[in-house]
Each structure stands twice: as C-alpha cells, then as structure tokens.
Structure 1
C-alpha cells in the first residue's frame, strides 16, 4: 500500500514591513506635513490680513476726522473772505502761468480747484505738495538730510506712508491735534527704508501706500471703469447705466465737484 503523505508548508513569522508599505507610510506622512504647513501658513496669512485691516481702519478714521475738519472750515462763514482771497490768487496764477484763455474760467470752478489744493497741502503724498511739512520732517532728530520725499532705497514705495504718518502724529489739521506716536502699535509702524522716517506697514512689514485720490485704482487706463475692482470697495455698487439712459455713474462723480463743473469746463474749453 502506498502511504499518502500530506505536505504542509510552514511560513516563518513576519518581523517587519515591506518596502511598499514603508513607502505608503512615508507618503502619508509627507501629505500630512504638507497639509499642516498649508494650514499653518493660511492661518498666519489670515492673522496678517486681520492685522493689516485693523491698521487701515484706524488710519482711515483719523483721516476722516481731518477731512471733515477741512470741509467744515472751508464751508464756515467766517472763513469765506480768506477762501475768496485764495480763489483770486489761484485765478491770477492760472492766467499768468497758463495763458489768457484761463480768463474765462468760472469762479466756482476756481474755488473747487482751491479746495483741492488745500486738501492736497494738508494730506501730501510727495515733496512738492507742502514744503513746510517737508522741512519739518527733515528737521526731526535721527532723520537723514533731505529724506522727506526722497525716493530712497525702496524707490519711493514708502514716501506716501511717511507723509501720512507724520501728518497724523505730528501735524495739526484745522484744529484736529496730532494723535502722537503712542496711538499705534509697534507692529503697525516701521522705518523700512532706513531713512529715519516712520511709515505705516501691513502685516508682512511692507509700507502701506496712501493714495489721496485713487482714481487709477478703478480706472487703470484713465478712462475705463473696472467695476469688478470698484465693487470690492463700494457696497451695493449699481451696474453701469444702459446705453441711452442719462444717469450719472457714481464712479464718475467727483466728491469735491458733484455737479461736474470741472469736467463741463474742460469739455467746453479744454482749460482744466
């Protein structure tokens, strides 16, 4: 008789992971690390954005106080004589500098231009707009000679912010006193270009640029309105008027000239 023999294979117990399994684990770990880094970076960016917005809101509030003070002063009855004197000086300057064609410019248009000049002088963006402010900024201890309005190491990126910081912290505007340097956190200001003049900075430490009349923001080419950009700054911005409707586009209305006198005069005679 033949004897049936059953062959049984014996497997040794496993003592480790295969290469494939290790690669899978490593891949999972790398994915988790990358995801964590993204989450942490995103949280950091959100915090910086929040800090930047907080600084902008604070600065904007202080600016609005000064803008309102300027408007009240210019509209005050007791200041009308001085205002009209400035209108006369502006008219003479236009005629002398740009020719006799400016003799026909209406007085209300000249007054609007004077108001804009006053606004420009009290919230300067660059060196030519208020020489007395330039001199006062340069006279500060620790400030490099001629630093105010100078392009400097950052090609001028910090100039407007330096002017705004000085105006808010050191300069009185129509009875509104300066707030002082302690009104801002150390993280909200810095001297990023090393010229001794402080400027407002965002959450990433970059200078916040100040634009007094940011028309190019919504009209990059000077004429076409980018409503997709404007809508980010104006809640409830209506769509552009349909062709044939005589409705004023709010994006074309100058807050200093709501009746459009400057544009009308420019269209009429091309002198503005």
Structure 2
C-alpha cells in the first residue's frame, strides 16, 4: 500500500511539474496585449487618395511584448469565415524587434496563391467577386491551419502582413465577435454585406494590406481599408488543458513504475 501511495505521489508531482513548466498567459487575450486597438463595430470602407494615404489609416498594429514567455495559438480554421480576402497574395505574421515598422518578418500563415481556385476559368471575373476572392485553409492558404507561437519574454513584436516582401501593419482586434465587410470596396464601394465570426473568449484579428489602386477613377493612387484581408483568431491554451496534459504525463510515469515494481 505504501509503495502504491508513493508511486501515486510521484505521478502527480510529475504532472504538476509538466503543467507549471508550460508557458502560458493568465486571463483573456485582449486586443491590447497584441498591440491592437479594439473594434466594436464593423470597419467602414474608406477610400483615401494621394501619396499621404498611410496617415489616413485609422488603425495600426502597435508594438507589444510580454513579461514572461507566452504561447499564443492562432487559427484560420474555426469558426467558419476566417481566412484571407482580396486579390493580393500575402502572409500573416509578425515582426521581431521592429524599428519604425521594419524588422525581421516571421510568417504564421501564408498564401500559396492569392485566392481559392475552384477550376472555373470565370471565377476571377465572377465567382471571386461573391466573397472578395476568399482564401481558405487547405486551398489558397497552405500548411497548418492552427499554429502556436512562443513569444519570448521582453522581446518586442508587431503583427504585420507581408505582401510582396514589404511588411505593412494595419490591424484591429475584437474580443468574442468580429463583424467585417464581405465585399471590399475594391469591388463594391458601398457594400453593406457583412460576415460575423463569434467564439467566446477568442480574440479576432482583422488585418489590412492597403494595396489597391482604383482603376475606375482618374486617380490610380486610391487606397482603402476594411480590415478583412486576413481574419485570424487567437487565444491561449486553457490552464485546465495544460494541467490535464500534466496528469496524463504523471499517469504514464505511474503506470511504468507500477509495471517495473511488479516485475521486480
């Protein structure tokens, strides 16, 4: 009996060590923790003209850092509606130690092509307009659909897109629910069609690449923002999940030791 009790204690201790050692972030992941301004209403399509367009974008992703090593889990899988939009091909990721918005870019999700291909030659002319050239995971978006990123303590980061090898960092955040325009003003300047993605406790990130020249006007330097070029969810691992993994590790250790004791 004493041997079993001692082995159980060893197993539980191993589990506790496993769960404590895993980097995590206490509390809900808010927009400000990733350098984003909160957005509580659908972004309004806005077209601005001229070479000074950058100052007219209302939301920029700011620099952020954590006091402890922190794991953030990003997804373009669930809920339905996440993904990339627009005809420009780009990657979603972050800059490390940026200086005035310039730094080493790390991709979290990338587009293998600018939008989903469905084998229909008229898709770009017709079908693509239905959902602003939506790119989904497993089609336009290659690789894994869910990725966990370890942000190191006391290191400066900044969320960004990387279209055509030049990072831009226009972004917004919304907790629990994010509503955005389904059709950008690249196609329909007065679009009122929206998509809403919802999941309690989840941070939704809307990024804008700012890459659009309005060929329907004499000014080809019009730029727009609607923050739906990438729509990504972000959260942190649940403490209960980490503890559960620890208990599993402890249980496996306990089983091995019991087997070894029985054969001794």
Q: Same fold (TM over 0.5)?
A: no
TM-score, length basis structure 2: 0.27
TM-score, length basis structure 1: 0.26
Structure with more relative contact order (C-alpha pairs < 8 Å, separation 6 or more): 2
